[in-house]
Amino acid sequence: MKSMLIGGIILIISLMAGTYFVAGDAFISDDYINTLTMVGAFSIIAITVFVVIKYVNQIKNDTASGELAEERWDGIGEYRNDVPMGWALAYIGTIIWAMWYLFIGYPTNTFSQIGQWNEETLEYNAKFEAKWKNPSHETLTAMGESLFLVQCAPCHGVDAEGIDGKAQDLTKRILKTSVIHVINNGANNFKTAFPGGMPPMMLTDAKEIDEVATYVAGGFKGEAPVAFGVCAGCHGMDGKGMEYVAPNIREYDTAIIKSVLTDGKKSNIGTMPSFKGRLNDTQEKALAAYIQSLGE
C-alpha cells in the first residue's frame, strides 16, 4: 500500500504539472473564475488518483464474506449481502436526476435553442427557395461562385484546378488517369442517380484503354476509337450519358454535379464526402452553373 501511495502522489504531481504546463497561461490573471477552474482541475486529479488507489488496494486485499445463497452455478455461489449504500444512493440519485432533467430541467416538450434554430433554418430555406425559384443563368453563376469559394475551394482550390492533384481539376471534365482507373476498377459512386454503376474491365487491352482514355479526356475531339463503342452502349456516342443508366462524361451537367454532391465520389485521387443535405436544390443548380462556366 505504501508503494502505491508514493506512486500515486508522484502521478498526481506529474499530472498537475502537465496540466499547468499546457493550460497554465490561461489562468495567470486576476480573474478568480480561472483560478477556481485550475483548483477544480487539481482537485479532480487528486481525488481520482486516490479513489483508484483505494479500490485497487481493496481489490488486492479484501476477501468476500457473508452468507452464501443456496443457488449454485457450476459450483459458484453468490453472497446474500446487501447492495453497498453508495451504489444504492447513486442509483436512486441518477433516477431522480433523470426525472428532473426530462420533466423540469430541460423538458423535451418545451422551448429549446436547437429546436428554434432548426425551425428558423427551415423557414429561411423556404424563403430562399421561393425567392430564387427561377433565377437567371447569370444570377445562378454568381451565386454558385460564392458557394464554390466557401464549400469547394478548400479542396479544389480557388482556381478550381485541384491544388496540384489533391482534388479533381474542375476546369476539365475528366482526366486521362481517372478514365483509365474507372475502366480498370469500375465505379459505383452515384448510387442514387445511376444505381447500376459501371463494372470493371469492360476493356482489357492496354492499347484500347489508352485510346479511349485519351479520346474522352481530350474532350471527344477527332474520330472516336473503335473500342469506344463499348462505352457508347451506356454513355452514348456523344458521351452525354443516359438518365438512370450512365452519367455525362463529356461535360459537367446539373445531373452529374447533383450526383457527386448527393453520394460523394471515390476515384484514383481519393474520396470526396457526400454533401447531402448541406445545399438546397437552388444552390446545387447554382454550383453546377458555376462549374460549367469554368470550362467556357
In order along its 296 residues, the chain shows pLDDT tens digits of 678 788 888 888 888 888 888 776 666 556 667 778 888 888 998 999 988 888 888 888 877 777 888 887 887 888 888 888 888 999 999 999 999 888 887 777 777 788 888 889 889 888 888 888 888 999 999 999 999 999 999 999 999 999 988 899 999 999 999 999 999 999 988 989 999 899 998 999 999 999 999 999 999 999 999 999 999 999 999 999 999 999 999 999 999 999 999 999 988 888 999 999 888 888 999 999 999 998 76
Q: What is the dihedral sign for C-alpha 216, 217, 223, 225?
A: negative
pLDDT value of residue 1: 63
pLDDT at position 59 is: 81
| Strand 265-266 with 76-79, pairing | unpaired
Strands (E), the chain: 68-73, 76-79, 265-266, 271-272
Could you identify the residue written with the cell 453563376? 141
pLDDT (0 to 100) of residue 168: 92
Q: Which of 24, 22, 16, 23 is nearest to 43 (CA)?
A: 16
pLDDT of residue 31: 65
Q: Which of 281, 288, 250, 267 is nearest to 125 (CA)?
A: 281
Distance CA 258, CA 284 (A): 6
Burial 164-173 (b: 16+ CB within 10 A, else e): eeebbbbebb
Contacts of 202 (CB under 8 A, 6+ apart): 183, 230, 231
Is the CB of residue 288 less than 8 Å from the CB of residue 257? yes
pTM of the model: 0.59
Residue type, 89: L
pLDDT of the residue at 89: 94
Element (H, E) at 189: none
Distance (Å) of CA 234 to CA 105, 151, 231: 59, 31, 6
Comparing CA positions, the residue from 249, 286, 253, 260 lying closest to residue 156 is 260
